[in-house]
Amino acid sequence: MDAPEANHSSRFMLKRSAAWDGIKLRHYQFSAGELPEHQQTEHLVTLPLAGGCNGEIRTASGFSTRGLTRGGVCVIPAGLPYSARLEGESEHLALYLEPSFLLRAAYEARVAGSVKVVERYAPSDPIISGVGLALLAELESEGLGGRLYAESLANVLAVHLLRHYTAAGGGARGFTGGLSGQRLRRVMAFIADNYESDVSLADLARVAGMSTFHFAREFKRTTGTPPHQYLIKFRVDRAKVFFTESEMPLVEISSRSGFSHQSHFTRLFRRLSGTTPQCYRLMSQL
């Protein structure tokens, strides 16, 4: 559940927040009380954490819902005034999706029908809950998965909202193209040339000549790996080459392999290689 930006009451505390292209994440802790009517410029998705909460959300259109449970989600369209009453302490994730991002996703996914988001409460939505918790984990890890990972999750959320939380609920039409060998080679060459930079989903989709929605889907279908995981593996493999062919210090290898933090590099290297960077270096010198 969101809190009004101008309200500095002790009824809520912003624990942490993050923003990526088209989407923001905020983690709130609330105490009992009333949240006055307000509205957002973005589409809002709220997810209660822990055991959920007792209370009520009311919108200016007459929609209301009580007793938000963990795993449930509440969607409130951009510009729709709403208020809330909470009967006890609770924690919530608030996901904000920019309307322009959703419209772009609708165009790229060839969604049929209206793209007007409607207010709705779903007692269970594993897709939205999974995206929200994955973004929270990304925030807690200080960007371990990287920009490409967060943008891919935002893309999944946008298409899911289009399919299930719009006036028409139109699904994405079939895509008759695919990630051909030539397109795949162009993307892999781009990654090989730019792995040190903060590669975005839009960058890779542009190289492939596809929309971000279709690129993410077709890349995984072709390679068996999501784009962000392919990029991480490429960076780890590049680090292995540096260990074998150079005497560069660990911090320089981390940076030149495309990792923003040495701690991220160590964790991901160990996850994919089964050993630490230092141990790998020692073994490569035997």
DSSP string covering 177-211: ----HHHHHHHHHHHHHHTTS---HHHHHHHHTS-
Q: How far apart are CA 41 and CA 88, in angstroms?
A: 28
Q: How far apart are CA 192 and CA 187, in angstroms?
A: 9
CB 12 within 8 A of CB 146: no
Q: What is the overall mean pLDDT for the chain?
A: 84
* Helix, strand, coil percentages for the chain (3-state, nearest 5): 45, 25, 35
Judgement on whether residues 43 and 122 belong to the same structural domain of the protein: yes
In a domain, 170, yes or no: no
Q: How is the beta sheet containing 53-59 ordered, strand by strand? A: 33-38, 82-86, 53-59, 64-68
Kindly report the CATH number assigned to the domain that includes residue 269: 1.10.10.60
CB count, 10 Å around CB of 19?
11
pLDDT value of position 1: 64
Beta strands in 108-247 (DSSP E): 120-122
Judgement on whether residues 115 and 200 belong to the same structural domain of the protein: no
Kindly report the CATH number assigned to the domain that includes residue 63: 2.60.120.10
Judgement on whether residues 19 and 142 belong to the same structural domain of the protein: yes
Could you list the residue range(s) of the whole structural domain that residue 239 is in? 230-284
Judgement on whether residues 17 and 155 belong to the same structural domain of the protein: yes
Question: Looking at the chain, how many residues does it have?
Answer: 286
Judgement on whether residues 77 and 138 belong to the same structural domain of the protein: yes
For residue range 48-58, list pLDDT tens digits in order: 887 767 888 99
Nearest to 130 by CA among 213, 224, 47: 47
Q: How far apart are CA 91 and CA 109, in angstroms?
A: 33
Task: Specify the 3-state DSSP secondary structure of 24.
Answer: strand
Per residue of the chain (286 residues), give pLDDT as tens: 666 543 444 466 888 898 988 899 999 888 888 888 888 999 999 998 877 678 889 998 888 888 788 888 999 999 999 998 888 888 889 999 999 988 888 877 776 666 789 999 998 899 999 999 999 988 887 767 788 888 889 988 998 998 889 885 544 444 444 577 788 889 999 999 999 998 999 999 999 998 887 888 888 888 888 899 899 999 999 999 998 888 889 999 999 999 888 888 888 898 888 888 888 888 877 6
The structure's pTM equals: 0.73
